[in-house]
Amino acid sequence: MNLTDTLLSEAWYWAAWAVWVPLFARCVLRAPWARLRDSEQLNVWLGMIVLLTLVWSLKAGVKPGLGFHLLGATVFTLTFGPHLAFIGLSLVALGITLNGAAGSFAYAMNALLLAGLGVALSQGLHRLFFIVLPRHFFVYIFVNGFLGGALTIIGVGLAVSLLLAVAGAYSWDYLIDDYFPYFLLLGFAEAWLSGMVLTLFVVYRPHWVLTFDDSRYLAGK
């Protein structure tokens, strides 16, 4: 995933900057910063950023831009909401850029793909599940956490593959045969990461999770 500065043409990277800058500014303006005035919540938010920076740095891959690593976008989004999650994951993308795991000019593209798309898919799936499924603790954990995490990273992997194919960085046949299928396997790991972390949060610290409400998912069940 983590793209290098020379993998795509400059036009793609400038277009990504043109999208990321106003999107990031919008999130900064609309984020619920009051929540981070609580030192406990702030520590959790910062802790997630540091931990995911390490996770994103530990990637596997054999060709530029064709790396694999866990994402964590589902946990971040369900815990803090889309705005704080996008800002936090953008800082994670900045962290891996500064430590040399991704290109500096490619920063906006990496942030859009990993943070922006990851958060958008996580939030969209959460809203869909909320509408079509009953409000139940196990539905929240297994569907939003496990299934949502898996579908999110698979969706990001498909988007990265499509971008690299359309931009001409690699052939579509190569990507669909030798790159994208591994995201189906990575989905299992992402599902366990998201599901287990959310389970611990809602059991021991439910007030940390913005999208979880005892009265909605536990009362009368």
Q: What is the pLDDT of residues 148-172, one digit of tens each?
A: 999 999 999 999 999 999 999 999 9
**Which pLDDT score, from 0 to 100, does residue 1 have?**
78
**Which pLDDT score, from 0 to 100, does residue 220 have?**
58
Q: What is the pLDDT of residues 85-94, one digit of tens each?
A: 999 999 999 9
Q: What is the rounded CA–CA span in Å between residue 129 and residue 175?
A: 30
**Which pLDDT score, from 0 to 100, does residue 41 have?**
96
Q: Which residues does 218 contact at the CB level (< 8 Å), separation at least 6?
A: 137
Q: What is the rounded CA–CA span in Å between residue 186 and residue 142?
A: 17
**Which pLDDT score, from 0 to 100, does residue 63 have?**
84
Q: What is the rounded CA–CA span in Å between residue 117 and residue 159?
A: 9
**Which pLDDT score, from 0 to 100, does residue 179 have?**
93
Q: What is the pLDDT of residues 10-65, one digit of tens each?
A: 999 999 999 999 999 999 999 999 999 999 999 999 999 999 999 998 877 668 88
Per-residue pLDDT for 213 more than 90?
no
- Give me the amino acid identity at 119: V
**Which pLDDT score, from 0 to 100, does residue 186 have?**
93
Q: Using 50, 70 and 90 to split pLDDT, how confident is the model at 216? A: confident
Q: Using 50, 70 and 90 to split pLDDT, how confident is the model at 219? A: low
Residue 171 DSSP class = -
Per-residue pLDDT for 127 more than 80?
yes
Token readout for 61 is 């891959």
Mean pLDDT of 191-205: 94
In contact, 84 and 30? CB cutoff 8 Å: no
- Using only C-alpha atoms, what is the Rg of the chain? 17
**Which pLDDT score, from 0 to 100, does residue 155 have?**
97
**Which pLDDT score, from 0 to 100, does residue 58 have?**
80
**Domains in the chain, start-ordered, CATH in brackets?**
10-217 (1.10.1760.20)
**Which pLDDT score, from 0 to 100, does residue 196 have?**
95
Q: What is the pLDDT of residues 94-121, one digit of tens each?
A: 999 999 888 899 999 999 999 999 999 9
